[in-house]
Amino acid sequence: MNSLNNFDRGEYRQASLSFTKYALQLSRADLRILTGLLTGHADLNQHLTLMQIRTDTVCPLCQEDEETVLHLLGECSALSVKCVNILGSPYLSYEELGKARCSGVLF
């Protein structure tokens, strides 16, 4: 199976172009946040612990799991109401997050 899964190349190219146009319109601060979310290099406890800035990876909002991008956007019980309002579901899988509109992700 190809790496584009359910996208054909035309759909992927269109999604990539739309995303690029969206990203180029962001302020520098929002682009930094988006880049961190996409790469995993966000100011979240899991990454900050790897950088030896923090000593605890636990999410400060829910205290239930490591604070990672996937946890913050798709699994954190403390953010479930916001996720419903912005993304349409309280908990999203990795695949569902990939289909979410980025404009909803930047709270």
Residue 66 φ then ψ, to 5°: -65, 140
Query: pLDDT (tens digit, 9 = 90+) per residue, 23-81?
Result: 889 999 999 988 888 888 889 999 999 999 999 999 999 999 999 988 888 889 998 88
The sign of the CA dihedral 71, 73, 74, 77 is positive
Domain residues of the chain, as ranges? 9-99
> Is residue 90 a contact partner of residue 84, using CB atoms and an 8 Å limit?
yes
> Is residue 18 a contact partner of residue 7, using CB atoms and an 8 Å limit?
no
Asked whether residue 107 carries a pLDDT value surpassing 60, the answer given is no
Residue 81 φ then ψ, to 5°: -65, -45
Would you state the pLDDT for residue 86?
76
pTM equals 0.65
Lowest mean pLDDT: which of 16-20, 31-35, 103-107? 103-107
